[in-house]
Structure 1
Amino acid sequence: MSAALDDAALAAHLAETAGRILLTVRESGLFAGKALGRAGDQVANQFLIHALREQRPDDGILSEESKDTPDRLTKSRVWIVDPLDGTREYGEGRSDWAVHVALAIDGEPVIGAVALPGLDVTLTSGAPVALQPANTPPKMLVSRTRPAAEALAVAESFGAELVPMGSAGAKAMAVVRGEADIYLHTGGQYEWDNCAPAAVAEAAGLHVSRADGSPLRYNNIDTYLPDLLICRKELADDVLRLAADYSPNS
């Protein structure tokens, strides 16, 4: 692979390849359940880290599965990756898991690719998809195992149909693909959970922000980034207003 490959193409290639690796690990039949999740995490992470160091040696890296170092804080360009978003779903043989590869430049989510290997789909900021017509009534994504109380309250006030789903990347890409209209998360995330989804969603023309409407910023000392809103732009003001009404601090 040429080092001249542009950032968006590199992100997509890395996410797709890591996804194929994860499918191979799962199909090997050598692991099951949590052991499968651990193996997938480690193998995909090793591939991504080695590939990024080879292809972009001057850039910083932040990965969920690698020990963080302060070196990245000195970099303008930082790759933020989640080798396996939705470890539970992956280990259960489901399709709602993802691989995230993103490039933050000066703290902004500029480049992103989210592979959905179980669906044989990769979405990237380099080739934004056309938004589909909105659903009527709106469809709102929530965690299939631990939906946040704020999201449930907003959905009820909004008259939205709830769509339970697994990983953050799968939920965010469901909005990009038109399968749902709102993804509001207030239950706690880290930078690697939402950097790539944010970049892909923004490139597609969706509203992307924190749950209070403030911008998402990356490559922070503290990587905890607990809330996220990805939705159709015409719904954003109402969702943000309702989210504020149901915020624990309101």
Structure 2
Amino acid sequence: MTHALTDAALAELLARAAGDELLRVRRESGLEGKELGKAGDAGAQELLAALLDEHRPDDAVLSEEAKDSEARLSADRVWIIDPLDGTREYSEGRADWAVHIALWIEGELALGAVGIPGEDLVLVSSSVAAAPEATDDAPVRLAVSRSRPPAVTEPVRAALDAELLPMGSAGVKIAAVVRGQVDAYVHAGGQYQWDSAAPIAVARAAGLFTSRIDGSPLVYNGPDPYLPDLVVCRPGLAPRILAAIAENTHGES
């Protein structure tokens, strides 16, 4: 076993390697649509599994594209990965899809790397810059799904008088808050731990507010990988966003 790479360096290597493989598959496979998405997912998962086995063979892994194992529940170190977040966008030839690499250590997210290969960009929690400050006279911008914005978005939009910016994967949306392209991202109605672990680690390192939509903490490496909702935003917006969600009676389940 080699530990020549630090965990942060390995996370970045994994994100870049998977991104390169996904771009190669899209460029060279000749596939389209769902078949392209399946091939990209499979190729990226195979590569990540091999690299983790080489560099961290004793660590557990929770991946969207691999069978889950109860062994991770008693492990001190667990990599939580999504080889391709935003399969639809990837299959359509767009750039707003991502690779998620997170490391959970003894109860907490220790680091995350979010690769956006279409922009040749990897954001790593150990080195990410603080999120830009808001401009007082600028409208609040809210990232939303291109295809199916959750119902919880509307009360938040109304409370903030926000402009909606549709975009692809969850990782890209959270990265957009980190990069100052939007001010908040709110989701309810269905995600899993691998959909948010890496981008949440990066967002926290950038000084952003993160929580469930009821204000409770986001908890990772739980027995059930389902983690359906989240809020990521500039800290000053959090009270208004959480209040708007609470006033919306049921939100989404």
TM-score (norm 2): 0.95
Residue aligning to 2:8 = 8
Residue aligning to 1:160 = 162
Which amino acid in the other structure matches residue 220 of structure 1? G
Q: Deviations over 1:75-110 (max 9, x none)?
A: 011000000000000000011100000001123222
The 2-side partners of 1:19 and 1:88 are apart by 15
Residue aligning to 1:28 = 28
The 2-side partners of 1:31 and 1:3 are apart by 37
The 2-side partners of 1:153 and 1:125 are apart by 31
Residue aligning to 2:67 = 67
Q: Deviations over 1:229-249 (max 9, x none)?
A: 110011111111111111417
Unaligned regions of 5+ residues in structure 2, if any?
none
Comparing 149-158 with 182-191, greater Cα deviation is found at 149-158
Q: Deviations over 1:171-221 (max 9, x none)?
A: 000000000000011121000000000000000100111111111111111
Residue aligning to 1:197 = 199
Contact preservation (8 Å) 1:111, 1:126: yes
Shift of 1:69: 1.1
Residue aligning to 1:17 = 17
Q: Deviations over 1:140-181 (max 9, x none)?
A: 011110000111221122101001111000000000000000
Which amino acid in the other structure matches residue 75 of structure 2? K
The 2-side partners of 1:150 and 1:118 are apart by 29
Q: Does 1:48 align with 2:48?
A: yes
- DSSP 3-state at the match of 2:110: strand
- DSSP 3-state at the match of 2:101: strand
Residue aligning to 2:215 = 213
Which amino acid in the other structure matches residue 102 of structure 1? A
The 1-side partners of 2:169 and 2:251 are apart by 26
Shift of 1:29: 4.4
Residue aligning to 1:58 = 58
Shift of 1:2: 5.6
The 1-side partners of 2:164 and 2:170 are apart by 15
Contact preservation (8 Å) 2:130, 2:205: no
Shift of 1:130: 3.0
Contact preservation (8 Å) 1:114, 1:123: yes
Comparing 157-166 with 35-44, greater Cα deviation is found at 157-166
Equivalent pairs counted in the alignment come to 250
The 2-side partners of 1:247 and 1:48 are apart by 42
Structure 1's consecutive aligned runs of 4 or more residues displaced over 6 angstroms after TM superposition are none
Contact preservation (8 Å) 1:154, 1:246: no
Residue aligning to 2:240 = 238
Residue aligning to 1:102 = 102
The 2-side partners of 1:107 and 1:150 are apart by 29
Shift of 1:74: 1.1
Comparing 55-64 with 82-91, greater Cα deviation is found at 55-64
Unaligned regions of 5+ residues in structure 1, if any?
none
Contact preservation (8 Å) 1:185, 1:228: yes
Comparing 164-173 with 209-218, greater Cα deviation is found at 209-218
The 2-side partners of 1:89 and 1:223 are apart by 23
The 2-side partners of 1:106 and 1:71 are apart by 14
The 2-side partners of 1:247 and 1:216 are apart by 21
Which amino acid in the other structure matches residue 150 of structure 1? V
Give the percent of matched residue pairs that are identical in Structure 1 and Structure 2. 55
Which amino acid in the other structure matches residue 87 of structure 1? T
Which amino acid in the other structure matches residue 60 of structure 1? A
Contact preservation (8 Å) 2:159, 2:240: no
- DSSP 3-state at the match of 2:46: helix
RMSD: 1.5
Contact preservation (8 Å) 2:245, 2:251: no
Residue aligning to 1:175 = 177
